[in-house]
A and B are shown apart, each in its own frame.
Chain A
Amino acid sequence: GEDVEQSLFLSVREGDSSVINCTYTDSSSTYLYWYKQEPGAGLQLLTYIFSNMDMKQDQRLTVLLNKKDKHLSLRIADTQTGDSAIYFCAETGGSQGNLIFGKGTKLSVKP
């Protein structure tokens, strides 16, 4: 079945770039998404990429998609303490039209 894998933790210093990686299994996914969950909050849609694109840039965020390897990454430039959160990768393709989520990567930003 569908599965989305992410590393669980990432720690960076303020001002550095963060790269969060994700692998997925469903090659028929139309879109892939990145969501952010701050402590005590719900999921906020950060960005998405269409499956026939290689890259998408949105201000400090860059999404790279390697469809051959089913690998997705999210790069955050100039990481700030306010970027500390859990980041979820998600693909379309759930049996009910739902999204399939990874376990989330907890990003810690040190001053």
Chain B
Amino acid sequence: SAVISQKPSRDICQRGTSLTIQCQVDSQVTMMFWYRQQPGQSLTLIATANQGSEATYESGFVIDKFPISRPNLTFSTLTVSNMSPEDSSIYLCSVEETRPVTDTQYFGPGTRLTVL
């Protein structure tokens, strides 16, 4: 399976600031997703990062708050803008592969964000 890394692994930020999270994959992948995992909650899809075009956002998430870049098939960034304590979460990127079966998703280690 693809090896996925994320930077930073964790951060503590002040409200009103922005943080950019990087996701790097060791092979080219078509589908790359960003999820949010709030404390004690499930994973919620933020958006699909599309290479060469704008990200596709889920209902409740907007580009101004969560701008995403996907400059190539191995890299993406997610920015959490104008942060508030409610943005404290784990942010995970994932990629879709066809092994062992289609639609299989593999996840990065996550970025643990605390907003004060």
Contact = CB atoms under 8 A, between A and B. Distances in A.
Secondary structure at the A interface, as helix, strand, loop or mixed, is: loop
A97 B48 contact: yes
A50 to B, nearest CB: 7
What range describes how many residues of B lie at the interface?
A: 20 to 34
A111 interface: no
A4 B44 CA distance: 12
A40 B110 CA distance: 9
Contacts of A102: 42
A97 B96 contact: yes
Interface in A11-49: 30-31, 33, 35, 40-45, 48
Interface of A: 4, 30-31, 33, 35, 40-45, 48, 50, 88, 92, 94-99, 101-104
